[in-house]
């Protein structure tokens, strides 16, 4: 069970990394662990293309974590869709936003 949870966490981390790289998501400059929609939030296609290209090219991390290209793009979609705040929740609750 913990192996599956560890794998799911690693999959999410890989998907978040691609979403951050393509601007779908961004991190707060103050709270680096806070992730929220970025300036390219509506551009899932760009993240899908990057992920697919890396998967097809045999990216070792992606091919180890995901059994298919579809599983990878579905994971990207999931990690992006759950983040619906427009700003850092920590800054917002502290009045820093």
Q: Can you list the domains of the chain with their CATH numbers?
A: 2-84 (1.10.10)
Structure tokens at 25: 């998501």
Global pTM exceeds 0.75: yes
> 């790289």: which residue's tokens?
21
Helices (H), 1-97: 2-21, 44-56, 60-65, 69-81, 89-94
Alpha-carbon distance of 59 to 53, in angstroms, equals: 9
Per-residue confidence of the chain (97 residues) as pLDDT tens digits? 578 789 999 999 999 999 999 999 999 999 888 898 888 777 899 999 999 999 999 999 999 999 999 999 999 999 999 887 778 878 876 655 4
């Amino acid at each position: 069970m913990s192996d599956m949870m560890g794998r799911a966490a690693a999959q999410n981390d890989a998907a978040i990394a691609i979403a951050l790289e393509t601007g779908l998501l961004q991190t707060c400059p103050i709270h680096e662990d806070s992730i929220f929609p970025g300036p390219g939030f509506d551009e899932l296609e760009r993240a899908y293309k990057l992920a697919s290209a890396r998967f097809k090219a045999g990216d070792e991390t992606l091919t180890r974590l995901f059994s298919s290209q579809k599983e990878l793009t579905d994971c990207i979609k999931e990690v992006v869709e759950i983040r619906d705040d427009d700003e850092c929740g920590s800054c917002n609750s502290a009045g820093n936003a």
